[in-house]
Structure 1
Amino acid sequence: MLLCTVAVAQERGQSAKGAAEKKKIVFIAGPDSHGKGEHEHNGGCTLLAKALNDSLPGVEAVIVRNGWPRDKSVLDNAAAIVFYLDGGGSDHLELVHAAEMEQLTSRGTGIVNLHFSLEVDAKAGGERFLKWIGGYFETNWSVNPVWEASFASFPDHPVARGVKPFTIRDEWYYHMRFPADMKGITPILQALPPESTLKQPDGTHSNNPAVREAVLVRKEMQALAWAFERPDGGRGFGFTGGHMHRNWQDDNFRKLVLNAIVWAAKMEIPPEGVPSATPTDNELNALTKRVP
């Protein structure tokens, strides 16, 4: 009986140890803000979190919906935080909670920003975003057209593991604001946008002389996703796509983001990338239901 008791205790101890060793990844999902199939922050986070929990035993992915967590303890010991929400001005969620963000990054928490969460008021938060993830969308500098981008090659970086060439239509932001020396930044997705993306009149998000000079004259490849190694040892990742919910059905699009989240959490990415099942149309449509 004593041997059985000891064995059970050891098994429970090993189980508790295994649970304690899991890396916590927290998704902060903003309210869905567009029509069905666009800016589906809740559905996208649900899909990505499930993929991580299903495929990587060492991960505990949890979702906080509709803003900063009321119970801040959910962020305790978070290896990485993923922001998928509406950004914009000085009231950006990460700026409102800048002091907490500084505490999180100072202890090595990885930060991942998807799509609109990359846009922040330059004066209020530009320097912070450069510090946290290496880049951001700056109005009157960056642009947000919908276009088809093709990715034929990738850098030798863990985030690109198992990702094969793909082409996909999305609202790909580009001409992002980066530091001049690009120190610590590795572009993961790069493309040269077509001239058709700059047909709109000049505006805060549509066109400007600087972007025309960079793309139409100098023909500079634009970084649409990047990995950032912070000087303090932490990691950041920016991904400008993610406007259209259906794009999560693309295996390479999805794999790259899953890889990036795992990398930001300082976990080892499998040789062929993070595996996940392709969502069916029914599954994808079920995820577009609004979350209160």
Structure 2
Amino acid sequence: MKHLLTAFLAFSLIGSAFSADKKSIVMIAGKPSHGPGQHEHNAGIQLLKKCLEQGAADQVDIKFHLNGEWPSQEELSKADSVVIYSDGGGGHPALQGDRLAQLDKEMKRGCGFLTLHYAVEPTIEKGGKEFIDWMGGCFEINWSVNPHWDANFKELPAHPISSGVKPFGTNDEWYFYMRFRPNMQGVTPILSDVAPESTMSRPDGAHSGNPTVRESVKNKEKQHVAWACERADGGRGFGFTGGHYHRGWANDDQRKLVLNAILWTAKAKIPADGVASNVTEEDMKANLDLKPGQGLPEKPKPAPKVK
């Protein structure tokens, strides 16, 4: 009996040590937004979680929150990286209440920070300074733009996030012309392409165009749509402007790049060939938000007034 108890305690200690070695990932999905198959934050976060557990189960312990639910301070205090996939601007989950201050506390101890698609956009008044500090750059209105276009990533940098990722191209709402740190200090572009002139077809506006970005596109400068950043506090950040279409996560290389980035921001070891994962059509359909056209009734139109 004594030997059995000793063996049990030994296995328990080994299990605890193994668990302690795992990196804690906190994933936050925003509320439903846009039409079917677009801004599928809840489905996207759950799909990425499943894929991480396929290819890096021994590396990570993942907790996720849906529909804009915010993690507890205790959970944040243990996080090695925070991942947010949500709408941005004034409704950004990270900008509500004292959440920026909560995150800032964790960033100062070296926690990672990763945002996907619209979540790369805070506001100038609130969050802009912090996002640039935490992940090297962010979307800024009247500077950055959000056109839909075909981007082709023919060359990838020698960076751990690129491990096992082959050149690829997709049509997406690839935001570009981010507000980066001065001189790109500590920032490494990961996905870049020359944006076609068609991306400037809209009139100037907060998200659609301005003289500075028009000049950049005219000069055929490469536009960075995903980037990595290393911070003075030892933390790491990553921004990815794609992800408008849920279908994009079916692209093996796009998915692998983001999975690698999650591990990198958490300071976990990335496999030599990147995080391996496989998704089926059933996986892609799982957890989609019910929206008009997907089983949710259209809102009734008001009855015409009788004259």
Fold-level match, TM-score > 0.5? Answer: yes
Task: Report the 3-state secondary structure (helix = DSSP H, G, I; strand = E; otherwise coil) of the residue aligned with 1:226.
Answer: strand
Moved over 3 A (4+): none
Matched-pair contact (CA < 8 Å) for 1:132–1:236: yes
1:132 equivalent to 2:131? Answer: no
Q: Which structure 2 residues correspond to residues 49-128 of structure 1 after superposition, within 5 A?
A: 49-56=49-56, 57-69=58-70, 71-89=72-90, 91-96=91-96, 97-128=99-130
Matched-pair contact (CA < 8 Å) for 1:50–1:61: no
> May I ask how many residue pairs the two structures share in their alignment?
288
**Which residue of the partner structure matches residue 12 of structure 2?**
12
**Which residue of the partner structure matches residue 269 of structure 2?**
268
**Cα displacement (A) at 1:276:** 0.7
- Answer with 93-102 or 229-238: which moved more: 93-102
- With over 3 angstroms needed to count, the CA separation of the structure-2 counterparts of 1:136 and 1:160, relative to structure 1, is same
Matched-pair contact (CA < 8 Å) for 1:133–1:237: yes
**Which residue of the partner structure matches residue 284 of structure 2?**
284
**Which residue of the partner structure matches residue 143 of structure 2?**
141
- CA distance in 2: counterparts of 1:105 and 1:68, whole angstroms: 20
- CA distance in 1: counterparts of 2:224 and 2:71, whole angstroms: 35
Matched-pair contact (CA < 8 Å) for 2:24–2:62: yes
**Cα displacement (A) at 1:68:** 4.5
1:249 equivalent to 2:250? Answer: yes
Matched-pair contact (CA < 8 Å) for 1:149–1:193: yes
- With over 3 angstroms needed to count, the CA separation of the structure-2 counterparts of 1:171 and 1:99, relative to structure 1, is same
- With over 3 angstroms needed to count, the CA separation of the structure-2 counterparts of 1:10 and 1:69, relative to structure 1, is same
- CA distance in 2: counterparts of 1:64 and 1:270, whole angstroms: 26
- Answer with 67-76 or 174-183: which moved more: 67-76
Amino acid at match of 1:284: M
Amino acid at match of 1:75: L
**Which residue of the partner structure matches residue 157 of structure 2?**
155
**Which residue of the partner structure matches residue 225 of structure 2?**
224
- With over 3 angstroms needed to count, the CA separation of the structure-2 counterparts of 1:51 and 1:70, relative to structure 1, is closer
- Answer with 61-70 or 232-241: which moved more: 61-70
Structure 1, residues 211-253: CA drift from partner, whole Å, max 9, x if none?
A: 110111x221011000000111100000000000011000000
- CA distance in 1: counterparts of 2:30 and 2:92, whole angstroms: 11
Structure 1, residues 252-284: CA drift from partner, whole Å, max 9, x if none?
A: 00000000000000011111001111x222221
Task: Report the 3-state secondary structure (helix = DSSP H, G, I; strand = E; otherwise coil) of the residue aligned with 1:122.
Answer: coil
Task: Report the 3-state secondary structure (helix = DSSP H, G, I; strand = E; otherwise coil) of the residue aligned with 1:124.
Answer: coil
- CA distance in 2: counterparts of 1:40 and 1:179, whole angstroms: 30
- Answer with 279-288 or 142-151: which moved more: 279-288
- Answer with 31-40 or 118-127: which moved more: 118-127
- CA distance in 2: counterparts of 1:194 and 1:164, whole angstroms: 22
- CA distance in 1: counterparts of 2:127 and 2:9, whole angstroms: 51
Matched-pair contact (CA < 8 Å) for 1:23–1:58: yes
Task: Report the 3-state secondary structure (helix = DSSP H, G, I; strand = E; otherwise coil) of the residue aligned with 1:123.
Answer: coil
Task: Report the 3-state secondary structure (helix = DSSP H, G, I; strand = E; otherwise coil) of the residue aligned with 2:27.
Answer: strand
**Cα displacement (A) at 1:70:** 5.5
**Cα displacement (A) at 1:93:** 2.4
Matched-pair contact (CA < 8 Å) for 1:84–1:114: yes
**Cα displacement (A) at 1:289:** 3.8
- CA distance in 2: counterparts of 1:75 and 1:231, whole angstroms: 20
- CA distance in 2: counterparts of 1:290 and 1:71, whole angstroms: 27
Unmatched segments (≥5 aa) in structure 2: 292-307
**Cα displacement (A) at 1:46:** 0.2
Amino acid at match of 1:140: N
Q: For the aligned residues, what is the CA RMSD?
A: 1.4
Matched-pair contact (CA < 8 Å) for 2:27–2:83: yes
Q: Tell me the percent identity.
A: 48
Unmatched segments (≥5 aa) in structure 1: none
Matched-pair contact (CA < 8 Å) for 2:70–2:93: no
- CA distance in 2: counterparts of 1:14 and 1:290, whole angstroms: 44
Amino acid at match of 1:271: A
- CA distance in 2: counterparts of 1:70 and 1:128, whole angstroms: 19
